[in-house]
Each structure stands twice: as C-alpha cells, then as structure tokens.
Amino acid sequence: MNRKQLKFCLLGAVFLFAGCTALDPTNYLESSADTLFQIKPDQSHAALERQSGTDQYLKLLLNVAEDAEVKEVQVKPGLVSKDTTMLSMPLTDGRTVSFKLSRSDNIASGMVGWVGDMPSNRRQLYPSPAEINMDPLNWVSLVSDGKLVVGDIRVEGQLYRLTAVGKGQQVLVKVDESKIPPEAAPIPVPVQPRDNARLLTTPSSSKSAIKVLFVTTQQSRALYPNYKLELAQALLNANQYLVNSKVEALYEQAGIYDSDYDETGKEPQTQLNDMTADKPLGAKIHIEREKVRADLVSMLSTYSIYCGIAKMPARKETAFSSISCFGALGHELGHNMGAMHSDESPDQGVFPYAHGYKHTAPNFHTQMRTSHGAIPYHSNPRLQYQGVPIGTVDKNDVARTFNERRDVVANFYPEPTYPVRLWLSGANGSCYIDVRPGEQVLLSWYSECKDNAVDPERVVVKDFSSDSTPRRLCFSNILYTVNSCYAGRRFYGDFVIEDVHSGKGKPDEIEFTKLQVGQVFRVSYR
Ligand SMILES: [Zn+2]
C-alpha cells in the first residue's frame, strides 16, 4: 500500500465513523485527492461564441450544452495514470467531486485510461452479492495521451464532457443529453439457418478479444480535432460496460484507417452500406481489415440526424457500424453483437432476451435502450441496483446475448494456428524447418539441419503470426543460457533476421531480447 492509498483508507474510516448520509456520495469529498483540472477564472462566454464561428467542434459542443455551459479548463494530463488512486475535479456549478480508481489500462498505443466511481455506502445498504460494483450515476472515464485528456464525468446522472477543441484548448461541457440525436434503428441482417446453429453454441474460450477497426472520413477528421483520443475513450467506455455487466469479452483497437470517403449528401444508412466490400469505400476497408484482422469495423462520421447506426446481428461480411457521437460506440457495437433496443418494438432479432432494460423507481435504463442517460451497464437479471434486478430473464438479458455471441464475433478472424516457416543459414550450410504455434523443436530432429551442422546466423522468417497475445520466436541452446528471442504482437507476415544474436534486420514492430551468444540447438515459437 502506498502513502496515498493508506491516507485514503484512513480518511475512509473517519467518514464511516462520522456517519455519512446514505447514498449521498458527494459527502465523500476527498481533500487529499489530486485535482485533474481547474476552471479558468474570468473567462468570457462571448469569446467562446466568437471562436465557435470558425471552430466547428466548439460550435457543436455549445449546441448540446445545457444553458450553453462550456468552460475552459486547465488540465494536468499526468494525473491520468494507474498510480493515481483518487482524482477530484470541479464542476461548472462550483461543486468539487472525487472519484476512486477502479480500472486503469493502456487502451491504445500511447494512451492511458482511468475509470473510477464515487465511494459510497451503497454496498453496505445493499449487501447482496448481486449488487453492482460501480456506482451507475457517479463515475468517471478518462483517456490521456500525455498532452490532452478527454472523458465523461457523471454526477448524480448528469453528464459532463471533458474534451479539447481546435487549438488544444480543453473545455468542460455540461451536456444536455436531450439535445443529442437518437441512435437509428439497427439494420437487421438476414440470418441463415446455418448461422443460427452457430449462434447458439457455447463459447469455448474463457475470455474473448474482439478487435475493432475504426475508419474516419474526410469530414470527421476535420470536425473532431482529437478523434484518435476520443475514439480510444469511447472504446474504454464500451469495455467498461462489458466489465460491469459480467460479459467475458473486451474490445481491442485493431487500428484506425483514415479513408478519403466524402460524406457529402450521404444519409447514415447509405454510409453504412458503403462500408460493405462491393462498394469503393468497402473495398478499401476490406484491405485494411484483412491486414489487422479486425472482427468489427466502426466508421466515425458527422451526420447529425442520428448518433449511430449498425447492422444486427453482425456476420463477418456485415460486421459494420457507424457513429457520429462518441458516446454511442458501445451501443452500436452492441447491435453487431446481437442486442436490440426495446422489447416494445417489433421483434426483428435472433434472441428474444436481447433487449435493453428500463426501470422506474429507481429510475434507470441500460445502454442498448439508448446510450443517452444510460447507466454504464447492459441488461442482466443476475445483477441488481439498490436491490432491483437490472434486467429480466425473458426479455432483457443483453449480457447473456453477448456471452453467447462473443466467441462467434471474436472468431470472424480467429487466432491463426498455422506454422511459422524458417530458412536457417549458418557458416556450415542451410536448412528449412517449420514450427507450429506452441511448439519447440531441436534442430537435430531435422536431417537437413543435422547433416549440415547448421548453427543459424541468418534466418528468413515466413508467416510469422501473432494476434493480441504476443508470440515469441526463440533461438536457444539446451540450457537456455543462449536465448535470442523475437516477440511480436499483432504482427502478420515475413521478415529477415540478418544476425540471430543481435536482432539485426528485424522489423521495428518485433521486439528483440537476448541472453548469451552461442550455438543454437533449439527453436521455439510460443
Ligand atoms: Zn441502437
């Protein structure tokens, strides 16, 4: 336990004995917490209004803000780190709130995520093991690239958006979610009987990694100056909903493809259809998707009548969605996974229980109903909020749908199992071997290597493949005191190693490590 954590525990104990008011988390104001940002004093709203004449994103934010409440803030990006256990921040109304870290990870290359909620005594009041972990009305999700921070701050259900506009100015927006356009009805994908059988199989893996390729358009890159950061934060949210809802899957960003697609005059559904492989945009997406083996593809667009649209449930060739609001990503990917909005609408899906859930007293709805004002959960009758189930067995169990479908979607591009092929050359001669994933072999097993007494220096590597789990190709002696390794994560293809024990010639994406230099007897690929 570090000093900060200790301090928090001690303060927590003081609060408990002092007897905080039930379910009033703002009483847990944490004086020792670091302050993520300050609202700049003496700022002029008229100046922001003027700036919005040329800054389209700022204009959009002013339009969705409650009472045009947009404030410039000064942010400390370094605090978005797994080492920060408590973060506090001021709101536009003068209150300051504090959040306790629940999860921090590297959501994309060079970007750190931080998710937390407000400590409260809800779990003591509702001791059932089914009671949800994260406070659904008071939580925060942030991503930083070291320079800027974007994120969502929810306090008593009210959304505040921390983001950056044109010139990297950071702003805090009190969002009026009723001003945000709705999500479009999903586009049903015909499901063949063959697929139906596949849909109902039990997942074979304990956890599924679902890779998502983002596509941007000419217009979306122009509108959203920090779209990479915003997309990473949208994915962080989508993952938090899965974690919270006990879905054994996580989305992983496979890449971002900046396309030359021009949205001018194209409706959301036209744009979604343009992503399929028989269209010019779709053909280009297909190449990028094959390269990074992305199970799902989501395009960031700028249409304003909807927040997003998706195909449902996705098959490999229809695994597309499009968003124009970052907050709708988890919802639209959820359609690809097979979930629907409401059981009141005509049933068009495959699963009778795959609907979002709405409850009154306590008042809440889950993500698939609509992402606007939703709690960070998918419907799940096995979980409770204040003692109330957040789903029903018959109609509202999106968590079950996702758990049943996760392996199907994650295997649109399965983890490759084919062997790596190696041409080994040394001073005495050359030989050819292939090694399957998970195997380690002795060179003496191969007569060609044995007869030529090959001690490899130069190696031609073909069909190296690694998905999200890093794969290591190692050249070792019997005791592993010699162990020169080449590790790749999400790398598919060929390369040449000019010198086994120095890493010379390897691609930048491949990481090289070594112990001693000496004769090679073993090769492993795991
Ligand atoms: Zn929807």
276 within 8 A of 189, measured Cβ to Cβ: no
The band of 6, judged by pLDDT with boundaries at 50, 70 and 90, is: very low
Mean pLDDT across the stretch 491-502?
Answer: 92
Given a cut of 50, is residue 204 above it in pLDDT?
Answer: yes
When pLDDT is averaged across residues 148-163 and rounded to a whole number, the result is 98
Q: Phi, psi (5° rounding) for residue 97?
A: -120, 155
Query: Could you tell me the pLDDT band of residue 346, with boundaries at 50, 70 and 90?
Result: low
Residues 103-133 have pLDDT tens digits of: 998 988 899 999 999 999 998 999 999 999 9
Quick one: how many helices (H) and strands (E) in the chain? 12, 29
| Average pLDDT rounded to a whole number, residues 156-167 | 95
What percentage of the chain reaches a pLDDT higher than 90? 77
DSSP 480: S
Report the distance separating Cα 453 and Cα 482, nearest Å: 17
pLDDT digits (tens, 9 = 90+) for 13-30: 434 433 333 454 444 455
Distance 240 CA to ligand 1 centre (A): 18
Q: Is the pLDDT assigned to residue 196 strictly greater than 90?
A: no
The alpha carbon of 217 and the centre of ligand 1 are apart by a number of angstroms equal to 21
Share above pLDDT 70 across residues of the chain, in percent, rounded to a whole number: 89
Cα 28 to averaged position of ligand 1 atoms, centre (Å): 36
385: CA distance to ligand 1 center in Å?
23
| Cβ-proximal residues to 346 (8 Å cutoff; 6+ apart), any chain | none
Question: Which of 412, 411, 404, 457 has the alpha carbon at shortest distance from 431?
Answer: 457
CA of 232 to the centre of ligand 1 (A): 20
pLDDT for residue 347 = 57
pLDDT above 60: residue 352: yes
* Mean pLDDT taken over the chain: 90
Predicted confidence (pLDDT) at residue 2 exceeds the cutoff of 60: no
Are β-strands 249-258 and 208-216 bridged in parallel, bridged antiparallel, or unpaired?
parallel
Instruction: Compute CA distances 79 → 145, 162, 287, whole Å.
Output: 11, 14, 38
Task: Note the pLDDT tens digit of each residue in 33-63.
Answer: 899 999 999 888 899 999 999 999 999 999 9
Distance 461 CA to ligand 1 centre (A): 45
Taking the centre of ligand 1 as the mean of its atom positions, its distance from the CA of residue 381, in whole angstroms, is 20
Residue 11 has a pLDDT of 42
Measured in Å, residue 237 CA sits from the centre of ligand 1 at: 16
**C-alpha 180 – ligand 1 centre gap (Å):** 14
Ligand 1 centroid distance, CA of 186 (Å): 6
Give the distance (Å) from ligand 1 centre to CA of residue 364. 17
Spacing, Cα 372 to ligand 1 middle (Å): 11
Q: Which residue has the tokens 């304003």?
A: 304
Residue 279 — pLDDT band, cuts 50, 70, 90? Answer: very high
Identify the three-state secondary structure at position 408. helix
pTM above 0.85, yes or no: no
Short-list 160, 133, 198, CA closest to 66: 160
**pLDDT the model gives residue 13:** 41
| Helical axes 227-244 vs 329-336, angle rounded to 10° | 60
Q: Average pLDDT for residues 302-331, to the nearest whole number? A: 96
Expressed in angstroms and rounded, the spacing between residue 369 Cα and the centre of ligand 1 is 7
Residue 489's pLDDT is what?
Answer: 85
The label of the residue with tokens 């020792």 reads: 32
Residues within 5 Å of ion ligand 1, judged at the Cβ atom? 183
Tens of pLDDT, residues 242-263? 999 999 999 999 999 999 999 9
The rounded Å distance from CA 267 to ligand 1 centre is: 16
Q: How far is the CA of 113 from the centre of ligand 1 (A)?
A: 25
Closest C-alpha among 298, 319, 315 to residue 307 = 298
pLDDT at 5: 41
- pLDDT on residue 16: 40
Q: Give, in order, the Cα–Cα distances in Å from 140 to each of 78, 93, 215, 355, 369.
A: 16, 17, 26, 25, 21
pLDDT at position 414: 84
User: C-alpha 391: how far from its chain's center?
Assistant: 24
Tell how far the Cα of 331 is from the centroid of ligand 1, in angstroms: 6
pLDDT classification of 492: cutoffs 50, 70, 90: confident
Q: How far is the CA of 312 from the centre of ligand 1 (A)?
A: 9
Separation CA 282–CA 194 (nearest Å): 25
pLDDT band at 201 (very low <50, low <70, confident <90, very high): low
| pLDDT at residue number 167 | 83
